[in-house]
Amino acid sequence: MLIFEMDALKTFGKKLWKGWMWFAEKIGWINQQILLGVVYFIFIGIYALIYDAIKLFKHKPETMWREFEHQPETLEALEKQF
């Protein structure tokens, strides 16, 4: 009888855990969207305004070719992800 109750409790616990995880995931997702929204409209937005201001002073280019910079030429440079 006791074993049976323990089993039932365990199953219930598992279900509760699963439910919580589902809920937490959803909350996490919503959180992520809100945070990303803030990042986008505030941080990216500020940079965007600065970028637009700089763009006003840029000359029209005569070619789209430009020098390739920062080619990694050592193993240390290759180990970096940037």
Partner 1 sequence: MSDNKPTYLLGLACFYHDSSACLLKDGVVIAAAQEERFTRIKHDENFPEYSVNYCLEAADITLDQLSGVCFYEKPLWKFERLLLTYIQEWPRGFFSFLKAMRAWLNKKLWMEHIICKELGKVSGIKNKKGKSVPYSGKIYYVPHHLSHAASTYYPSNFKNATVLTVDGVGERSTSTIALGEEQKLTLKEEIVFPDSLGLLYSAFTYYLGFKVNSGEYKVMGLAPYGTARYTKEIEALIEIFADGSFRLKPEFFAYRYGLKMTSSKFAKHFGRPVRNTDDELTQWHKDMAASLQQVAEELMLNLVRYAHKQYGGKNLCLSGGVALNCVANGRIVREGPFKNVYIFPAAGDAGGSVGATLYVNSIIDPKPKAKSIETIYLGPKFSNQMIESFLQDSGIKYDKIDTAADRAVKVGQLLADNNVIGLFQGRMEFGPRALGNRSIIADPRKPENWKRVNIKIKFREDFRPFAPSVMADKAQDIFDLRGVDSPYMLLTAGTKVKDLPAITHVNSSARIQTVSAEDNKPYYDILSAFNDLTNCPVVINTSLNVRGEPIVWDHIDAFKCFIRTDMDILVLENFIINAEEVDKNFFKTKFELEVFADD
Q: Which is nearer to partner 1, 57 or 82 (by Cβ)?
A: 82
- With vertex at residue 62, the alpha carbon angle to CA 57 and CA 68, rounded to the nearest 5 degrees, is 90
* Smallest gap from residue 82 Cβ to partner 1 (A): 4
* Smallest gap from residue 56 Cβ to partner 1 (A): 14
Indicate the SS3 state at residue 82: coil
Q: Measured between alpha carbons, how far is 52 from 8 in angstroms, rounded to an integer?
A: 63
Count how many Cα atoms sit within 13 Å of the Cα of residue 82 in the half-sphere of its side chain. 0
Q: Which is nearer to partner 1, 4 or 65 (by Cβ)?
A: 65
Footprint on this chain of partner 1 (rule: CB under 8 A): 32-33, 36-37, 40-41, 44-45, 47-48, 51, 61-68, 71-75, 78-82
